[in-house]
């Protein structure tokens, strides 16, 4: 990869990563076309389009600002941008296969990959685990994105003094992503509704994979000292859980025009979120049996209930104070994240955009998260929960 000017990347990290991805994917598509035109059109082309057409590029940006916060500059820029692109390809794998597992019809406001493939070939449901031709094809598309992500990572770090250390972070990130997704699936299958399990899944699936490890990848490529790595890891863990809790709020209450997914999709899919776990626990504590019945009827009902039923579930969660409590948790965790960054002696010119990025990802870019409708819930008592299955960050 040719030399990269760090100041140029600072101005628009996402745009630079997009250009790197476009170049990388153009090469991959040429290779796929040479291998087989049908494979290139149906699978490789879909992976490329999915990667390039959408997404906030949050993980690539975290990787970049982790490098800059740790004092990295021109010698580390090209490798970091390349690894940032690899992170986005890994996210493509995760999202495509997540939609298959959840049966989600939409992603980013468009048909999910498995739906698109079934529509192209008019394939019907079949009596196999993946359900349809589109489901099976989407699994392969996710696998291809993972292969390309590993290739991109290897190419980006070749010759870097930090290649071995960065590879260790990359391996951990991939395994944690799978572990978190499995805990999510297991909780749905076994009806594990505890808030403790929801938080543990959030740590593995989101805090580590989406925030902490991308930050550490960038800092590792900059050959950061142990103190900087520890501070960025701690800040990323707190902010990562905050990000997942905010995502839970969006999945339950978010506007489809903003989220690109049906209203209340997480509720209908029965996702074991901290938000729903808190709502159940508070209904049980208050003896709210009617509220529990509503949650039982709506959560996990897939797409067979009316919007009015979803609104009833919203009312129950607000009455229980669950939304209010989760909003307070997001704000508390972000404060802890910012405290970790502030006391670590990192480059202040990089920590400021990093804080803005984390706050924006958690819905706080404009000054605050939405309160529960009508302020109906009881005063939230924000407790301390474990965000560290590995180590103690409480």
Render the burial of 241-267: b for 16+ CB within 10 Å, e for the rest: bbbbbbbbbbbbbbeeeebebbbbbbb
- Residue-level pLDDT at 375: 42
- The pLDDT, as a whole number, for residue 369 is 60
Average pLDDT, the chain: 89
Comparison of pLDDT for 55 and 104, the residue scoring more: 55
Q: Domains (ranges, CATH) in the chain? A: 6-375 (1.10.600.10)
Question: Rounded distance, CA 290 to CA 86, Å?
Answer: 48
Q: Any idea which of 7-11, 66-70, 158-162, 385-389 has the lowest mean pLDDT?
A: 385-389
Band the pLDDT of 319: cuts 50, 70, 90. very high
More confident call, 180 vs 393? 180
Q: Rounded distance, CA 3 to CA 82, Å?
A: 12
Q: Say if CB 359 and CB 365 are below 8 A apart.
A: yes
| Reported pTM | 0.88
Which tokens hold the place of 56? 């906030």
Q: What pLDDT, in 10s, does the model give residues 62-88?
A: 999 999 999 999 999 999 999 999 999
């Amino acid at each position: 990869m040719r030399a990269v000017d760090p100041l140029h990347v600072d101005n628009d990290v996402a745009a630079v990563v997009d250009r790197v991805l476009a170049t990388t994917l153009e090469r991959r598509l040429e290779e796929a076309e040479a291998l087989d035109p049908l494979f290139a059109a149906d699978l490789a082309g879909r992976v490329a389009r999915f990667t390039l057409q959408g997404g906030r590029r949050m993980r690539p940006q975290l990787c970049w600002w982790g490098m800059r916060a740790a004092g990295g500059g021109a010698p580390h820029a090209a490798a970091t941008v390349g690894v940032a692109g690899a992170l986005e390809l890994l996210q493509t794998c995760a999202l495509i296969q997540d939609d298959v597992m959840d049966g989600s019809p939409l992603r980013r406001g468009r048909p999910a990959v498995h739906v698109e493939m079934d529509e192209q070939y008019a394939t019907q449901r079949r009596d196999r685990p993946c359900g349809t031709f589109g489901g099976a094809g989407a699994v392969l598309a996710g696998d291809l994105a993972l292969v390309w992500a590993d290739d991109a990572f290897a190419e980006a770090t070749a010759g870097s003094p930090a290649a071995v250390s960065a590879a260790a972070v990359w391996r951990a990130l991939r395994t944690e992503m799978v572990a978190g997704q499995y805990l999510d699936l297991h909780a749905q299958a076994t009806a594990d509704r505890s808030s403790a399990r929801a938080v543990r899944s959030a740590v593995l699936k989101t805090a580590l994979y989406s925030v902490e490890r991308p930050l550490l990848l960038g800092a590792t490529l900059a050959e950061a000292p142990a103190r900087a790595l520890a501070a960025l890891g701690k800040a990323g863990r707190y902010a990562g859980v905050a990000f997942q809790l905010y995502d839970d709020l969006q999945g339950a209450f978010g506007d489809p025009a903003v989220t690109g997914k049906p209203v209340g999709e997480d509720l209908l899919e029965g996702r074991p979120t901290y938000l729903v776990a808190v709502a159940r626990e508070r209904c049980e504590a208050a003896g709210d049996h009617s509220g529990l019945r509503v949650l039982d009827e709506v959560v996990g009902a897939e797409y067979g209930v009316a919007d009015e039923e979803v609104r009833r579930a919203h009312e129950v969660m607000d009455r229980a104070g669950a939304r209010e409590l989760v909003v307070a948790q997001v704000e508390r965790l972000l404060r802890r994240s910012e405290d970790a960054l502030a006391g670590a002696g990192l480059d202040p010119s990089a920590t400021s955009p990093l804080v803005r990025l984390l706050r924006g990802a958690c819905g706080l870019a404009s000054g605050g998260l939405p309160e529960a409708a009508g302020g109906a819930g009881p005063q939230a008592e924000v407790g301390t929960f474990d965000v560290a299955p590995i180590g103690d960050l409480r």
